[in-house]
Amino acid sequence: MSETMTDAEPIAQEAVKQAVKRMPCTEGTAAAGAVLLFDQIGSTNTFAREVIVNGRLPLINDGRIVVIAADAQVAGRGRLDHTWVSQPGESFTVSFAIAVPRTVASDATVNGWLQMIAGLSTLDALCAVVCTDGDDARQTHRDSASFDGVCGGEENQIAEGVCACTASESDALQLKWPNDIFCDGKKLGGILAEMVTLPNDPQSVAIVFGIGLNLCVPADRLPTAQSTSLQLHYQLPGTFDDLRDAIAARIAQSLRARIAGFCDNPHRCAVSLREETQSVCWTLGHEVEAHFTDGSTLRGKALALNEDASLTMQTADGNTHVVRTADVGVLVS
């Protein structure tokens, strides 16, 4: 990285200083000046995209990661133009950007796994932060060192028992295809992945993962009856800043290692990623409704996660349908 955000506008300089002060663990996972923390921002993903595209925050394909965080997000975006608004001290609103080979990002047979990797990395972080080694035989604590060289969980123990650390079976942390984090069968947060062109590297692109999580949202302020917040399930350690920093640092570590392994051999890693994701996928086996960008819907049972990370559904007439891009909600019985 030839320059840092401290060479840019004053608002970014202050955001870099805030990150050093309030997100020291995360700041330690990235290059100098590559972690920014704003008091308030429209959208962390939008900001990340803009500063990468115009070269104000150079990003090259060397495994480094850029992190943009905010105390409050007033124009956050979700999948299919859903909105996400957060209040200080309640929600995790952080975007992570990393460069990958264009050949991987444009390969439809494997690029769906990039978003799944972000979800798995988020589970890695949550399980590591909210669980401690104790008397409960089902609890496991992940050592950050185990992230090194991970390829979808095939080369070490990171994938095994992803949520064995949960306080109870009902509190399991899981993924809802394609982009949500669930806890106890309710939505804890979501992930928006966007591809961004790198101005000086036609062989690579940046992937920006915007991750939003309800960490300390009061029950009476949750957006829907099907939403939840982490503090309703776990006794959380430290202050809100401590919690955000710990989760962000773990996500950055896991993302970097998982994506490096994936880009080395995408098709081989897709096999192990599929196995790992199936083991923590809340969607599979449930009745679901898919909402498509053209306004149409499809109801059926989620049968399988496919080799390209798409989802197979079976409708009431017995026909099967492959879903690649949609907002898929689990129907409440």
Residue 208 has pLDDT above 60, yes or no: yes
Give the amino acid at 20. Answer: V
Sorted by where each begins, the domain ranges of the chain are 5-279, 287-330
Model pLDDT, residue 169: 40
Alpha-carbon dihedral sign for residues 322, 78, 124, 150: positive
Model pLDDT, residue 333: 59
pLDDT digits (tens, 9 = 90+) for 148-163: 334 444 333 333 333 3
Q: State the Cα–Cα distance between residues 126 and 247, nearest whole angstrom.
A: 6
Mean pLDDT value of segment 202-225: 95
The total number of residues shown for the chain amounts to 333
Residue 291 has pLDDT above 90, yes or no: yes
What six digits make up the tokens of 68? 């943009």
Residue 141 has pLDDT above 50, yes or no: no
Model pLDDT, residue 9: 58
Q: Could you say which of 2.30.30.100, 1.10.1060.10, 3.30.450.90, 2.40.30.20 is the CATH number of the domain covering 287-330?
A: 2.30.30.100
Nearest residue to 198 (alpha-carbon basis) of 309, 306, 53, 27:
53
Mean pLDDT value of segment 12-35: 91
* Cβ–Cβ < 8 Å for 96, 252: yes
pLDDT digits (tens, 9 = 90+) for 190-203: 999 999 999 989 99
Q: State the Cα–Cα distance between residues 277 and 175, nearest whole angstrom.
A: 8
Q: State the Cα–Cα distance between residues 189 and 227, nearest whole angstrom.
A: 8
DSSP state at residue 269:
H
* Cβ–Cβ < 8 Å for 269, 261: yes
The model's pTM: 0.86
Q: State the Cα–Cα distance between residues 80 and 128, nearest whole angstrom.
A: 30
Taking every pair of Cα atoms in the chain, the longest distance, rounded to a whole number of angstroms, is: 60
Mean pLDDT value of segment 115-124: 97
Q: State the Cα–Cα distance between residues 299 and 226, nearest whole angstrom.
A: 19
Strand order, beta sheet including 327-330:
320-323, 311-314, 297-305, 287-291, 327-330
Model pLDDT, residue 56: 85
* Cβ–Cβ < 8 Å for 75, 43: yes
Q: Can you name the CATH fold of 5-279? A: BirA Bifunctional Protein; domain 2 (3.30.930)
Give the chain's radius of gyration (CA, Å): 19
Q: State the Cα–Cα distance between residues 99 and 281, nearest whole angstrom.
A: 27
User: How far is CA 152 from its chain centroid?
Assistant: 14
